[in-house]
Every structure is written in structure tokens, then in C-alpha cells.
Structure 1
Amino acid sequence: MWRVSTDPAPATSTPLEPAGARLGRRGFLGLAGAGGLLGLAGGLGTAPAAAHAETGSLRFVVLTDTHADVDVPTNLDNLRRVFTAVEAEQPAFVLNCGDITEYGAVSEYDAYRATVPDTLWPLLQHVPGNHEARWDPTAGAAYRAVFGPPSFSFTAGGPERGGLHVVGLDPTQVLQEPGLFGPDLLRWLADDLAAVPAGTPSLLFLHYPLGGRNLYVNDTEALLKTIEPFDVRGVFAGHVHREEVTRFNGLTQVTGRATKGNPVYYRVERVEDATGPVLRVARVEVAPDGSTRATAYAVIPLADPAADLGPLRPRVRADGDRFTLTVPALRGVQEVGARIYPQGVFGGTDDTPPTPLRRRGRGLFSGELAAGALPAGTHRVQVQARAADGRLWETTVPVERGGQEDLPVLWSHRVGGRVQGALALVGDLVVAASSSGAVEALRPTADGPHPVWRRRLGPVYRGPAPSADQSTLLVPSADAALHALDAATGEERWRADLGVPVLSAPLVAEVDGAETVLIAAGPTLFCLDPGGRVRWQAPVPVMSAGRVACDGELVVVGAGDGRAYAHDARTGERRWSFDTTTRTTAYTRLIYGPWDDTVELLPDGGVLVSTVAAAIALDRRTGVERWRRAGSHVYTPSLLLGDDALLVVDERGLAALLDPADGTVRWTLATAPRAFNAGPVLSEDGRTAWLVGVAGLLTEIDLTTGTATRRRQLFTANTFSTPVRVGELLLVGAQDGSVHAVDLG
């Protein structure tokens, strides 16, 4: 095991974004139907009331993973019982560590609000979990309308009672599972902590647990470095649905059981013990009759920790087939271990034990890690120091393995935000769009990106698409519009206001000889003419975040209710639907359906629709199933190679070459450990496909022999962006906000 040690009123509010953010143009409230979200905002932004001021103590409550689901009334009953008990505690405030709902539906927010007593509601402080972000067609707008800014801070109590600074952090990513803090959020956090008065300890609460075996947030090391100079003493987190207490880097992290299905919460009291001020945490279980039973669970010291363990400043050097480490150690360090960061683990945990380093003198440890199995490129090494009393300090450092002779990354160009959608190739330009709203056109060569133009829109989470003549670029944005930009200059030609965030990829098709733009936004499929005027629109139950397919006669779309739908391309009339799942609740039909599928036309009148359970070939005219292949193929786009070969890749990185007529498998092979949203790209001669896994691993697939070679670890960021190839350059977008150029020659 990766060793762990187990063992008054807010006065300020400093949100990352303007407080009181609400649903935008046309309200987005139409997503809920009449009454949705109405009445929920009462009390938002109200400072939690002081409690127990007469005794000089501070008491608050923490709970997590409430997962409100309108289809599971027993869980809602549990929540009512829990919140009734919490109200009786008279807490100063209540922290909910996220996964408030099952999938972020407005009806679930309504149901959650109905479980909370009116007098308690103003005291609740929330951060979102992945279940609020993963399937949210409003890109966070519905959440902000109910709960306000997702990252914020406040100070509870005063100096006379021992103040406590509380920071809520939101590292969730729109339409994605794992977390990422990113430089903007960390800059805000550093500024916020720098303003905390001396002597006031800080407490973080967020959804994902941090450190050690927890790899849910890809840039955890950046957070730990950010808070290192400050008096951060505790972290409350959820996500894992179990209790864990870990002590590392001078702080104590506490995770809790899911309140979903378990009527439990955590009472936290600031008290003085023999060591100084502490937060004493008790688990409180609520019986069916409403009675409670409290059990001591954890203690979070608030005093300054001993300065004898960290920070660590290890030195790591690549030396052939091994990494050589030298770790200067402080006097409190008893042992040091290290391991290669498991880059292929995506939003999960890893219990690979660290390799012990040798003590060389009083203040130095050294050792080696085997690296021969790693591809060339950028890797990370985790280093952990342990004191005799079990305290830990960990740090993560990058290291470059191998030379630049094998598929080197020639340059990286920062766009900003997160380049989450596919890159677009428009003539000789490569266009990247990011969550910051930046859209940038490059004319890339081996010696540099050569920017041509840059424009700022609302946040973009799916890739742009060019018009048939390559003169116009269509950009979907969370600002509730599809933007048409001049491909040569970036100037806006037109804007189609669709009323809700546009979180799917546009498709340009020909219908009756006329260019047609097809795009899903929220619960609606839109058909636009080349000037952005609506020809027709049709309902898409719940949402669709992938891309439709169109053969000029029919439009096929994967929806959030577990079905695929075919519409008449001329009128929008529904022709057929196909049920992809046997699940029965709204939540399970969404997550097991084709909600994020890039639908693919197949030869001989077929169409491929995929889910997390299977890739399913349907007859385009009738919607009747032809064949299916098991596996989670909903995320990574397939690649049709002529009339007789189809390359599919599931989320585990297993690639297969199929006959599109009947699904016969020619070969299968393992590529990257995980693959999400970033599809394969053909080489210039058509004999090779290049695939970038979600963790930045570039794999070369020989389409003739069915063999794969892991060529280079391009970066340590995640990527969900399908690359483009320009000659012998492969351009790859990533969540680090950059476009990276790889020399395939």
C-alpha cells in the first residue's frame, strides 16, 4: 500500500466569479419546465448565522454525496431525516462536499431543496461534484442559479473565539469525470489565502480527495505547492463513499460516507486539547425514528505543524533505463519512498507501493526507479517522506525520459483555459477553441505555431467544424450560441442564438443540394441554413453532447434518455427511435445511453450508435439492429477506413478493426490505458492510425498487422481533443490549455 497515517458567522465572501450568478439568456430555466428552480435561490449568499457564541465554541456540520434522485424516494426520505437532525444541532454552517444530485438535473435540485428545512437552507454551503458536471447541459449555469459561485471562501468566528477560514473549491470539468484545478483557480486560491489574517487557520472542502493513492485530480501537486506557504490545516472531501483520515503535508484530510442511502453526517467542533486548538469530528448516524448516535471519528490539529518533515525538494534525473533520485531530508524524516506516477490511471486510485530509498548520511536519501518499460517523453515521479509518528510529506516532480529523436514535441503553444474539443483543420489553418472562450487559428510548421488570428467567445467544450467550402468556421459555445467565423480572419459572420449552452459538435451536411448545419443544444436538435437561420428544430430528450450523423435523408442523434433517434433531414419529423439500454431510471438511462456519441454513418445504409455497453450498428432506414460489439465505445469517435474497415476504440484503450457490414473482428489490440473523446487520426499513407490516450500517451497503430507501438508520453495533462495532422505534424490539444506539435517524420 501507498502508506498513509490513519488516525460565529462568516465575515467575508470572496467568490472566484461574481456572486449571484444565475441562469443566462432566456433563463435556461426552460430545461426544467414550469417551476423548476423557482424558490431555490432564497437565502443564497446569506452568511451562516453564528452559533454557540455564548460558549465561545464553533460547531458546524459536514456531509457529502447526497445524490438526490427523484426516482429513488427512499434516499430523499433519508435526506429529510438527516437535515432535520442537522437543524437540531444549531450549526454555524453546513458543508456539502458535492455529488449533491445524481446527474445535475433541475428536477433533482428541486428535490434536494425540498429535503432541507427552510431555516437550515441559508446555512448550507456547497461545492459541486462530478455528478453535477458530467452530464450537465447548462455547463454549470443551473448549479450557479441554485448555489451561487462554485468556488468561494468565508471566515467563521472571530479572533476571540478562534476564527476559521473556509474555502470551497471546484475542480470539476464540464462533461468530464475527473478533476483539474488549473492555473486560474490556483491563482485565485493563493490570493485568497494570502489575505487571511495571521493566526487564522484555513480549511478546504471539495469533492475529490487528494494525495497518496488518490489520483482523481490530475494536477494535485500544483494545489499542494500553492497552499504550501499558508496555514491550511484541514481538508474535507467526498467522492469515495467511505471514511478515510490521512495526514500529509501539514494537513489532515477527512473523507466521509455517502449520505446517499446512509443517514449520516459529521459534527465538527473547534475545541482546545493538550496539543492546542483542534477540530474534533464525530460521525452522527440518524436512526429511522430520527434519534442520533455520535461516534468519535477524527481530530484535525489547527496549530502549526512541526517543521521537520517538509517541504521536499527532490532531484530526479533520467539515466538510461532508470530514474535516479536524490532527496535532501529534514531531521524528522525517518524514511523516503518513491514511485513513478501512474499516468495511465484516470480519475481513480493506485496502490502501487513506493520503492524505499537508501539513507546516505544524516540528511540525504537516494535510489533508483526502473523506467525501461516507459516510452520516451514527459513523466512524473511521486516522492513521499515519512516521520516516525506516521506523518507524511509528498511531492511530485516531472522528469523527461529519452532523447528528442523519437517523435519529438517540437513546440507547445498556449491558447488558455482547456482545449477540450477536437481541433479543426480549415485549409492550411489549425483552429483550437478553449474553455476560456479563446478561439485561435494557427498556420503550423516545424519551427512554430505561427498564429494567424485570435477571437474571444464564450467557453467552448466541443470542437469547431468548417463549412463545405472551408470559408466559414462554426464554433459551439456555452454562451448559448453557435458562432460562424470567417475562417481566414476570425471575424464573426453570423451568430445563431439557441437559448441554452451549445455543448455538442456541429455537423455540416448537404440536404437537397443545400448546405445544412446540424447541432444539438440542450434538449433540442437544430437544423440551420448557411446563414444561421433555423429551418427546423426537434426535441432531443434530456441532452446530446456528441455529434449527429446525416446522409442527406435522415439525421441520427444519440440522446440522454437512452435512445437514438432518426429525423427527416428536410422536415425534422421523427422517423424511428432505438432503445440502447434496458435501464429504467432517468439517471441510469442517461449514463448508459448514447448521450456523448459521435454517430457514424456506415456503408450500405448503416449507422453506428454507441454507449458505455456496446457499439451498435443499425439499419439507417428502419432503425433495426444489424450487429453490436460489447464495450464502452460512446466516447472515442470511430474511424471509417473505406467501405470494408472500421476502427473502433473503447474507453479502456482496446482498439478493434471491424467489418462494418456485419461487425466481424479482424483484430484487437491494446493501445493507451484509457481513451476518452480524442479519436484516431490517419497517417498520410493511410497505413497507420495515431491515437492519443486521455493521459497523453501517443500510440501508433499499424492497420495492416494489427500491432501497436507506444511511441511517446507527450505531456502529463489529460486530453479529450481529437488531433489533426498537417503533413508530418500532429497537432494535439490538451487540458493544459495548449496545442502541442509532434514531429511524425
Structure 2
Amino acid sequence: MRKQRVSWKHWLGSAVALGLLGGCSSLPRYGNPELPRTEQAPPLDYFSVAWWAPLVTPTLMEYAPREVATPAYDGLSNTVIALTRDGFIRGVGSDGQVKWSKKTSTRFAAGARVSDGVAFIPGGDGTLYALDAATGEEKWKYAAGESLATVPVVAEGLVLVASESDTLFAVKAADGVWAWQYRRDPPSGFSVRGASTPLVREGNVYVGFSDGYVVSLTMRDGSANWEKSLSGSGNEFLDVDSTPVMDEHGQLYVASYKSGIYALEAESGDLVWTSSVGGMTALLSKGKMLFAVGDGRVDAYLAEDGRLLWTHPLGERAAQAPVFAKGMLIVPIQRSLLFLDPKTGQARVSWNPGDGVSATPFVAGSKLFVLSNNGWLYALDFNGLKG
């Protein structure tokens, strides 16, 4: 297929009623670009599609395909790094053409991280790969021996990545040599699928675990500064799988799936406030606001005291981690990509590029890279949205 820049007015479908989106009956929703469309585009031209690339070949009898790995972007070589359910790592150029690919033995649970031209890949096969983002050449690999489940974090010369078995690994970014690791025993009962991506601030690491604990570790050697239980007693769905976030004042926010959202003093772990809304799986801090997504809803809170500002019902069991771009809160809700006004929670547009979107998009300046559940990679250009 020849890749080209395509405007909404050339192919996007018309607005349709979305009864599941909390009463947003006139919300525009768009479909797959390869399908013929005859309807008029909406009056609000939010973004256009620069290019799209079909990466995964559909298999017979595949039911409800899902891609969960967030794309990454290397600005040095203008390469998008896409990890897909067929076990491939691909480098896609600025024209939508695949520049290189590498096969691994199984699907991915999380996306890559690019730093200084190197793509760090969390393998579902238990291997952390370091590849040249421009060429795909392997620089090193580290055998963790446990399926890796978070986007790697690169800081202070180390790469941090967590496994599905509640181990946080730290290896040297230069050569992949093991530096330290921290492990907690998973609970005996049911847990939510996923893991907490670590947050690094001022020489400390903050990360959650499936036993309901959030911990602060020293970046130097992984020793614990403090450990705090958020989920209370029991042994099921205690998970603190959300990536911790920190505001400009140094206050830490984490979410327990069972017990709700917690604001903590980062230095001590002492409680500042808590919200009893359970089922939350991801947080995002922006200015004085804290956004939370989870089972069937998106919430906005005042970060200072946890006051609920608005809530937006989704009609989906769970949403994935949101991103903030050009003044809009963008949330993948499995069946589509939802654009919300962060001040009011009002939905502006819903975009379904085919089989929905589960992976968190990647924002790079005025572009948004989206991996759809059918394995298509899209590059969107923001048009009408202003920061």
C-alpha cells in the first residue's frame, strides 16, 4: 500500500451515536481509513492522519485482537518503535515504511523506551533488549528470566523494568550488566494483569506491587527507603499497578485497585489524602489536577486535597493509561481513542481506527503515534488543537 498524507475530509466517517459514552449521543466517532466513506467530516478538524502502516497480518479465527504495547519514537532517526502481538519489534520510518524488524518468541506486554538513539525493549520472553533505534542492530541483551511487563525507565545510567512476577530489575544502560533487583512475593489470590512502571525522582525510585504495597527505593543500590501497604488485608485484587506520579510540589500519587487513590509524602510515605474510589488502573498529573482512569470511568481530582472535579462514564470495564496533548486528555478505551476536555470531562471526539485501541498512544511534539488493536500503526498530526 502506498502511504500518503490523508486529511479527515478525504476519508473519515460521520458522527454516530455513542450511547455507552455517558450520554454523549452526538459524539463524532471515526472508522478505519481503508474502508470507503461517503459521509461528510465533522466541523471540528482536530487532527489529520499523516500515514498508516499495517504491521500485523491477521490470522484465521483470531478473536478480539489486542495490541497493548505503547509505541516509542526516536527523534534522532525519525523512527517509530512498534512492538506487536506477533512477537515482532519493528522500526517504522517517517513515511510509514518498515525500516527494520526483529522477531522474538512471544507477544509483548509493554512498549519500548528510546534514549539517546537506543531502543530498550521489554520482552515477553524474559529478555531486555537494547537495539539501535535507527537500524535495529542489537547492542546487548539481558536475560531477566521473567516476562517483562513495563515500559523501561532510563535514569542515572540504569535501565529499570518490572516483571509480571513482581521483580524490579536494574541493569546498566551502557552494557546491560545487572546492577540490582528488588522483589516482593505476589499474593496467593487473584490479581489484576499488569505491573507498575517505576518513577524516578532525585535519586529515588517509586513503584507499586501486586501485594498492595508501594515502595521507595534508592536508585544507587535498590535498598528500601520506606514501604507502605495501601490495600489492607485479604489476598485478591490488592494490586498497586498504576505508575506512581508526582506533582510539581513533590507530592506522590498512587492507586490501589482495591482501595482507591492515595496522595503521599514522597520522602516518608505518610498519607496526605485518600479517595475510596476503587478499580483505578492509571494516573496522570497535570498542573493542579490529577486524572485517574479505570473500570468504566475517567475522573479528575484537585491534586491538593483529592476533591472530585468531574467524572466521565465510559461503558468499558477498564481504560488504559491516558496522555495529555495539545490541551486534550486522550484515553484509549479499547474500542476507540477518546478525546476529553480536561477542564470539564466533556468528550470531544472518539476515533476507532479498526478493532479499537488498547495501547497508550505516544506524543511527540505535534504528532501522536497510535497502535490499533488490529496491528496498524498511525501517525496523527494535530490541527485544530492548541496547547
The TM-score normalised by the length of structure 1 is 0.42
Partner of 1:375: 28
Local SS of the residue matching 1:635: strand
Structure number with higher relative contact order (C-alpha < 8 Å, ≥ 6 residues apart): 2
What's the CA shift for 1:640? 2.7
C-alpha distance in 2, partners of 1:592/1:539? Answer: 16
In the TM superposition, 1:82-121 aligns within 5 A as none
- The amino acid that maps onto 1:403 is Q
Partner of 1:451: 98
Cα 1:711–1:523 change in 2 (3 A) is closer
Cα 1:614–1:463 change in 2 (3 A) is same
Select 2:179's aligned residue among 535, 547, 553: 535
Select 1:463's aligned residue among 107, 111, 115: 111
What's the CA shift for 1:457? 2.4
Cα 1:452–1:517 change in 2 (3 A) is same
Select 1:584's aligned residue among 199, 217, 234: 234
Local SS of the residue matching 1:555: strand
What's the CA shift for 1:654? 2.1
Partner of 2:88: 438
- The amino acid that maps onto 2:109 is Y
C-alpha distance in 1, partners of 2:143/2:83? Answer: 19
What's the CA shift for 1:421? 1.3
In the TM superposition, 1:522-671 aligns within 5 A as 522-530=165-173, 531-542=175-186, 545-585=195-235, 588=236, 591-594=237-240, 596-612=241-257, 613-632=259-278, 634-636=280-282, 638-642=283-287, 644-659=288-303, 661-665=304-308, 667-670=309-312
C-alpha distance in 1, partners of 2:272/2:13? Answer: 53
C-alpha distance in 1, partners of 2:13/2:279? Answer: 39
Local SS of the residue matching 2:281: coil
Cα 1:572–1:378 change in 2 (3 A) is same
What's the CA shift string for 1:643-677, capped at 9, x where partnerless?
Answer: x3333334323231422x43344x31427444522
What's the CA shift for 1:342? 7.4
In the TM superposition, 1:113-132 aligns within 5 A as none
Cα 1:450–1:614 change in 2 (3 A) is same
Local SS of the residue matching 2:26: coil
What's the CA shift for 1:472? 0.8
**CA RMSD of superposed structures (Å):** 3.2
- The amino acid that maps onto 2:269 is G
- The amino acid that maps onto 2:144 is L
Do 2:152 and 2:161's aligned partners in 1 also have CA atoms closer than 8 Å? yes
Cα 1:410–1:377 change in 2 (3 A) is farther
- The amino acid that maps onto 2:331 is L
Partner of 1:8: none
What's the CA shift for 1:473? 0.9
- The amino acid that maps onto 1:679 is P
C-alpha distance in 2, partners of 1:602/1:646? Answer: 9
C-alpha distance in 2, partners of 1:709/1:421? Answer: 25
Do 2:14 and 2:28's aligned partners in 1 also have CA atoms closer than 8 Å? no
The TM-score normalised by the length of structure 2 is 0.78
Do 1:378 and 1:715's aligned partners in 2 also have CA atoms closer than 8 Å? yes
What's the CA shift for 1:723? 0.7
For structure 1, which runs of at least 5 residues remain unmatched after alignment?
1-317, 323-339, 346-370, 380-397
- The amino acid that maps onto 1:641 is K
Local SS of the residue matching 2:31: strand
C-alpha distance in 2, partners of 1:679/1:662? Answer: 22
What's the CA shift for 1:463? 1.1
Partner of 1:305: none
Select 2:330's aligned residue among 690, 700, 706: 690
In the TM superposition, 1:134-145 aligns within 5 A as none
- The amino acid that maps onto 1:630 is S
Cα 1:742–1:708 change in 2 (3 A) is farther
What's the CA shift for 1:471? 1.6
Local SS of the residue matching 1:732: strand
User: Is 1:519 aligned with 2:167?
Assistant: no
What's the CA shift for 1:548? 1.0
C-alpha distance in 2, partners of 1:573/1:320? Answer: 55
In the TM superposition, 1:208-287 aligns within 5 A as none
For structure 2, which runs of at least 5 residues remain unmatched after alignment?
1-11, 58-65, 188-193
C-alpha distance in 2, partners of 1:372/1:648? Answer: 23
Partner of 1:9: none
C-alpha distance in 2, partners of 1:372/1:581? Answer: 37
In the TM superposition, 1:139-218 aligns within 5 A as none
Do 1:605 and 1:620's aligned partners in 2 also have CA atoms closer than 8 Å? yes
Cα 1:736–1:550 change in 2 (3 A) is same
Do 1:689 and 1:700's aligned partners in 2 also have CA atoms closer than 8 Å? yes
What's the CA shift for 1:486? 0.8
Partner of 2:8: none
C-alpha distance in 1, partners of 2:70/2:228? Answer: 27
What's the CA shift for 1:728? 4.1
Count of paired positions: 345
Query: Which structure carries more helix by proportion?
Result: 1
What's the CA shift string for 1:469-490, capped at 9, x where partnerless?
Answer: x221111011111101111211
Do 2:206 and 2:216's aligned partners in 1 also have CA atoms closer than 8 Å? yes
In the TM superposition, 1:698-709 aligns within 5 A as 698-701=338-341, 703=342, 705-709=343-347
Cα 1:664–1:696 change in 2 (3 A) is same
In the TM superposition, 1:249-398 aligns within 5 A as 373-378=26-31
Q: Percent identity?
A: 23
- The amino acid that maps onto 2:207 is V
Cα 1:713–1:563 change in 2 (3 A) is same
C-alpha distance in 2, partners of 1:698/1:740? Answer: 15
